[in-house]
Chains A and B, each alone.
Chain A
């Protein structure tokens, strides 16, 4: 019997605890990324 990708479970408590991913790498902003962010900041007009 499979359950959520586990083939064999044996009564472990159902007590979830979040484990958020930590930031370990500094973000490197590329020119392209900066340009995209600027364009995204402009208001958009629909036809």
Chain B
């Protein structure tokens, strides 16, 4: 048995045993007084939800306990394959996006490898005003050093197939000119050395079809944004390490900050339009997971490397923007149910689809567990918690262990190997982890409601589409927060009222869920504020920004101060054509 299969088996067994054992204990307690059919239903719900909870925690613990993989260090040489760095954009801020490209370009020049990398900005912008600005700022960008013949811009009039279609359009027109393509998002930023190393890895391994980095969220300003950034910088690498150990050569692709072998991608990843209408039919929304599965199906290696630092992105700064993005991902993941049985896929690819679906289905299942528990509590002889109060504590402790064990393990590991020093020391990091746990616990009921609503909408056949991400949206006014979450307030209040009326003994256990739900508008607004005190949730990148981060900041500041020069009309001497 190979090592990844052994680790997967152990992890699956732990999750299965823990969830079956937990469900059995749960059933024993709730069915102690005259079991009813509701008890069986609740036990099944407990089994389904706790399996994925334990599975996630196990991945983190495996990653935290694993030996640190050796990263690649030393100078970077020019790779033999030519790489196209693709930047698909859709109604973004062009000055910000193009300043990132300029910074990456200068970083590649500093490494002495720039001539092996071209940049292709692939615009699907539908706003004519934004498209006009893109043209203006592109003229500013091509004045950067060594940009002639290396920096290109293309805008599609119709964004057929959205981002996947955008990349496919590039490959079908220009793909044969490149060995590799580094696919980015508009908010991606990568160190030149990291980009170089990724291309060298592709040179060195002819079977490597895709190499994915673990992007770190940077430039977060609000409490919510900083929470996400801290989690991605401090905790995610270990979860990713656990994932990588299990997935090995059938790894994930997250759609950005990853390099692909163009010939492999072109031959294997042409996505069809699924039969039927959205949300389950039509263009594949979450195309990245499918492309990874197709590459693995064709025999290519798909690897995740958490040791490759220097890979950054920006994240949503408030819960509303997060929820919009999450809605899109939810629809994309649920659409994958059509593909679980697709011909020829590897087992782990199919499991990854199921995992992605359950990441969202778990929320309505937890909600259903809550509702059935309240219904059961209305039955006169079903007051099992009165005689078995200790059972509630045992179950609560078990859930807490599943949630907290990976984070505590990571904290202890960081103290032992010195990683906590990069984040300001163990005490500061411990406070950060505690803060992350506290804030996540407060926000969890709101996320539960939002995800359950998203799943319900999709199950009812409502297509959420692909709303543009508003990356510069930070502060959420109370009125906006209330408009977005009044139904969560009502849900929390009704739940609490029913519990008080039917099962007063359960009320203390429901407060951690109902109180945050009732306070949803306040929490949404408060977490969208920018804190004056920034030592909490501080990350290594914030304490010591990398060269490319400082470059991008300087370039963006200069550009926005000076403004772009207006381009001359007509044909340029270097052959660029203006519309």
Which A residues lie at the B interface, using CB under 8 A?
A: 1-2, 5-26
Shortest distance in angstroms between A19's beta carbon and chain B's nearest beta carbon? Answer: 4
* B294, CB-defined interface residue at 8 Å: yes
Q: A2-B157, A7-B157 are in contact. List 11 more A-B contacts (CB 8 A).
A: A8-B123, A8-B155, A10-B138, A12-B174, A13-B174, A15-B173, A19-B171, A19-B175, A21-B270, A22-B294, A23-B272
* B578, CB-defined interface residue at 8 Å: yes
Shortest distance in angstroms between A13's beta carbon and chain B's nearest beta carbon? Answer: 4
Q: Decide: A25 near B176, CB < 8 A? Known: A5-B156, A8-B155, A19-B171.
A: no
Contacts of A25 in B (CB 8 A): 272, 274-275, 338, 342
Q: Considering the chains assembled together, what is the distance between the CA atoms of A20 and B171 in angstroms?
A: 11
Q: Considering the chains assembled together, what is the distance between the CA atoms of A23 and B513 in angstroms?
A: 44
* Partner-binding segment picked from B54-62, B193-201, B261-269, B537-545: B261-269
CB distance A8 to B578 under 8 Å? yes
CB distance B263 to A17 under 8 Å? yes
Partner of B174, one of A1, A14, A22, A26: A14
Shortest distance in angstroms between B271's beta carbon and chain A's nearest beta carbon? Answer: 7
CB distance B577 to A1 under 8 Å? yes
CB distance A12 to B271 under 8 Å? no
Question: Could you mark each residue 322-358 of chain B with 1 if its beta carbon is under 8 Å from any beta carbon of chain A, else 0?
Answer: 0000000000000000110111000000000000000
* B153, CB-defined interface residue at 8 Å: yes
* B73, CB-defined interface residue at 8 Å: no
* B35, CB-defined interface residue at 8 Å: no
Decide if the interface of chain A is mainly helix, strand, loop or mixed: loop
Decide if the interface of chain B is mainly helix, strand, loop or mixed: mixed
Q: Which residues of B163-182 have CB atoms within 8 Å of chain A's CB atoms?
A: 168, 170-178
Most B Cβ at <10 Å: residue of A12, A13, A24: A24
| Sample (20) of A-B pairs whose CB atoms are under 8 Å apart | A1-B577, A1-B579, A5-B158, A6-B154, A6-B156, A7-B155, A8-B123, A9-B154, A11-B152, A12-B154, A14-B173, A15-B175, A19-B266, A19-B270, A20-B270, A22-B271, A24-B290, A25-B272, A25-B338, A26-B343
CB distance B338 to A19 under 8 Å? no
Contacts of B170 in A (CB 8 A): 12
* B149, CB-defined interface residue at 8 Å: yes
Contacts of A10 in B (CB 8 A): 138, 152-154, 576-577
Q: Decide: A8 near B174, CB < 8 A? Known: A22-B272, A24-B339, A26-B341.
A: no
CB distance A2 to B579 under 8 Å? yes
Contacts of A21 in B (CB 8 A): 270-272
Shortest distance in angstroms between A32's beta carbon and chain B's nearest beta carbon? Answer: 16
Contacts of A6 in B (CB 8 A): 154-157
Contacts of B272 in A (CB 8 A): 21-25
Contacts of A22 in B (CB 8 A): 268-272, 294
* B575, CB-defined interface residue at 8 Å: yes
- Quick one: closest A residue to B175, CB to CB? A17
Q: Considering the chains assembled together, what is the distance between the CA atoms of A17 and B169 in angstroms?
A: 10
Partner of A15, one of B158, B168, B176, B268: B176
Contacts of A5 in B (CB 8 A): 156-158
Contacts of A8 in B (CB 8 A): 123, 131, 135, 153-155, 577-579
Q: Considering the chains assembled together, what is the distance between the CA atoms of A6 and B120 in angstroms?
A: 14
Contacts of B577 in A (CB 8 A): 1, 8-10
Contacts of A9 in B (CB 8 A): 153-154, 577
Contacts of B263 in A (CB 8 A): 17
Contacts of B343 in A (CB 8 A): 23-24, 26
Q: Considering the chains assembled together, what is the distance between the CA atoms of A14 and B274 in angstroms?
A: 30
Partner of B152, one of A2, A12, A15: A12
Q: Which residues of B12-55 have CB atoms within 8 Å of chain A's CB atoms?
A: none
Contacts of A24 in B (CB 8 A): 271-272, 274, 290, 338-339, 342-343
CB distance A7 to B131 under 8 Å? yes
Question: Could you mark each residue 133-153 of chain B with 1 if its beta carbon is under 8 Å from any beta carbon of chain A, else 0?
Answer: 001001000000000010011
Partner of A18, one of B138, B155, B172, B269: B172
Sorted from nearest, which 10 A-B pairs have the closest CB atoms? A17-B175, A15-B177, A15-B176, A13-B177, A17-B176, A19-B270, A21-B272, A21-B270, A10-B153, A8-B579
Q: Considering the chains assembled together, what is the distance between the CA atoms of A4 and B96 in angstroms?
A: 29
Question: Could you mark each residue 222-265 of chain B with 1 if its beta carbon is under 8 Å from any beta carbon of chain A, else 0?
Answer: 00000000000000000000000000000000000000001101
Q: Considering the chains assembled together, what is the distance between the CA atoms of A20 and B343 in angstroms?
A: 16
CB distance A15 to B174 under 8 Å? yes
- Quick one: closest B residue to A2, CB to CB? B579
Q: Considering the chains assembled together, what is the distance between the CA atoms of A21 and B177 in angstroms?
A: 21
CB distance A11 to B294 under 8 Å? no
Shortest distance in angstroms between A12's beta carbon and chain B's nearest beta carbon? Answer: 5
- Quick one: closest A residue to B276, CB to CB? A25
Shortest distance in angstroms between B255's beta carbon and chain A's nearest beta carbon? Answer: 17
Shortest distance in angstroms between A22's beta carbon and chain B's nearest beta carbon? Answer: 5
Q: Which residues of B91-128 have CB atoms within 8 Å of chain A's CB atoms?
A: 120, 123
Contacts of B341 in A (CB 8 A): 26
Shortest distance in angstroms between A7's beta carbon and chain B's nearest beta carbon? Answer: 5
Q: Considering the chains assembled together, what is the distance between the CA atoms of A12 and B152 in angstroms?
A: 6
Q: Considering the chains assembled together, what is the distance between the CA atoms of A10 and B576 in angstroms?
A: 5
Contacts of B265 in A (CB 8 A): 19
- Quick one: closest A residue to B121, CB to CB? A10
Most B Cβ at <10 Å: residue of A2, A6, A13, A23: A13
